[in-house]
Amino acid sequence: MTIKLHNTATRKKEVFEPLDDKNVRMYVCGPTVYDRAHLGNARPVVVFDVLYRLLRHTYGAEHVTYVRNFTDVDDKINATALARQEAGAAGTLEELVRERSNETIDWYHADMDALGALRPNEAPRATDYIAQMVAMIKDLIAKDFAYAKEGHVLFRVRASKDYGKLSGRSVDDMIAGARVEVAPFKEDPMDFVLWKPSDDGLPGWDSPWGRGRPGWHIECSAMAADLLGESFDIHGGGNDLQFPHHENEIAQSKCAGHGFARYWLHNEMLQVEGKKMSKSLGNFFTVRDLLDQGVPGEVIRFVMLSTHYRKPMDWTEKKRVEAEKTLWKWKELTAGAERLRRPHLEVVEALSDDLNTTLAISILHEKAREAKTAEDKSRFLATLEMLGLGEKWRDGVSVAVENAFALVTLKERFLAIRETARSTKDFSEVDEVKEKLDAAGVEVRMSKEGVDLIPKPNFDPTKLEGLL
């Protein structure tokens, strides 16, 4: 099957031809691990997980290498470590930084596992690759693409002839439009940092330019080369990383003489109820917040897959509810199904066409309606699994999924009781059910349009039994 991918570097959908079909290689920029991942951070994880699954399906699982890094050099991580040290925590600053990063890396893995994302083959941490970064910076200086000044090393942007090509901008436009930092140690305001000095209150590593730490962009160039080789196939990340991060990665790696990535993929951003997610708008939430509210990871994943990765996606309450209903139906359909079949070819074709997950889901709706025999159902389950859905159903449904589905059923029942009460004007049953839900830790929010059942921290599903 031919895979076609939209390459940001050429702005075209291209036939994907790996350098080596026995070792297909993909690098995706991972999170800066200073806190829990927000819902937007989960989008590239789900998108590139689908691509990883498709590559594994097409080339064989053992012939694909997926690397996603952790950026654990960051001022916000340092700030938390410093605050802990000031509050009396034991250990050096480096140890406290490591402790904070370990904590957030564990959270990240747990949250992304809940979304059904496979772990990448390698998840390198920047701080384990400082030697490779220093070597690469030395090489760039030797080749005259970088210069050291006042404990900093800077990349000479104007020496890189293709700079701006990926994001489609000229260097002069970028200077006019971007907030470039003018600093006395820079030859040109566009030049960016490869290495910067650390004072005693910050983590740092010895280098030919004094004690310091790497800039963000060099991390990915050095880790990708070390783990995937100087030339590899796919590089991914969110749209917001095109400039300056990816532009800078390309400049560094190409000037060091690497072939670097051949296909660039970028996902569009996620919004919430039509608005940019931000703390000031009060619509900012993490993946963990949703999981804790009882929204199953499969539901989050399903909602994400319903929008094509190159379109902006909107997370809405309505979509969440719809996704829960659909997955509940599909779970019932595949109960007891064997997992021996190949996935539906139409779905593989849809994914092979620049990851058309939207089309894949509409095909699944059709297949679900048509599925009658045990063979149909087993094929349907195999197809769901190709999309990373339904995997948990096989080994018994996860508790979160069960609970959410129980609430969907209850909600429908509650609506029916309320309809009857409206015509008979006898609301005693409504009140009774509401009381029982309250006792089980479920808040009932009623409005003209409908009703919402929201699990509270004291939610106890065993108390729902009499109601189901």
Contacting positions for ligand AMP (CB under 6 A): 29, 31-32, 40-41, 43-44, 237-238, 240-241, 267, 269-270, 277
Stretch that binds Zn ion, among 23-31, 76-84, 266-274, 288-296 (CB under 5 A): 23-31
33 is a site residue for Zn ion (CB under 5 A): no
**How many residues of this chain interact with Zn ion, rule: CB under 5 A?**
2
Binding to Zn ion (CB under 5 A) within 212-231 occurs at: 220
As a whole number of angstroms, the distance between CA 80 and CA 75 comes to 9
- Residue 220: contacted member of ligand AMP, Zn ion, none (CB under 5 to 8 Å, by partner type): Zn ion
Q: What's the Rg (C-alpha) of the chain?
A: 25
Q: Kindly state the smallest distance separating residue 219's Cβ from Zn ion, in Å.
A: 7
Question: For helices 130-142 and 216-228, what crossing angle results, to 10°?
Answer: 100
Q: Kindly state the smallest distance separating residue 369's Cβ from ligand AMP, in Å.
A: 32
Q: Kindly state the smallest distance separating residue 99's Cβ from ligand AMP, in Å.
A: 19
Q: Which of 295, 302, 373 is nearest to 337 (CA)?
A: 373
- Residue 277: contacted member of Zn ion, ligand AMP, none (CB under 5 to 8 Å, by partner type): ligand AMP
Name the residue nearer to Zn ion (CB basis): 222 or 453. Answer: 222
Query: How many helices (H) and strands (E) would you count in the chain?
Result: 16, 15
Q: Kindly state the smallest distance separating residue 154's Cβ from Zn ion, in Å.
A: 19
DSSP SS3 for 233? strand
Whether 301 and 116 have beta carbons less than 8 Å apart is answered as yes
- Size of the chain, expressed as the number of residues it contains: 468
What residue spans of 387-459 are helical by DSSP H? 391-394, 399-424, 428-439
The one-character DSSP state at 188 is: S
Q: Kindly state the smallest distance separating residue 36's Cβ from Zn ion, in Å.
A: 20
Residues 6+ apart with CB under 8 A from 232: 19, 25, 26, 27, 224, 260, 261, 262
Choose, by CB under 5 A, the member of 3, 26, 29, 406 that binds Zn ion.
29
Q: Kindly state the smallest distance separating residue 458's Cβ from ligand AMP, in Å.
A: 32
Residue type, 465: E
Name the residue nearer to Zn ion (CB basis): 216 or 405. Answer: 216
Name the residue nearer to ligand AMP (CB basis): 63 or 276. Answer: 276
Q: For ligand AMP, which residue has the nearest CB?
A: 238
Name the residue nearer to ligand AMP (CB basis): 72 or 324. Answer: 72
Kindly state the helix (H) or strand (E) to which residue 309 belongs, with its residue range: none
Kindly state the tokens that stand for 17.
Answer: 């031809």
Chain residues that interact with Zn ion, rule: CB under 5 A: 29, 220
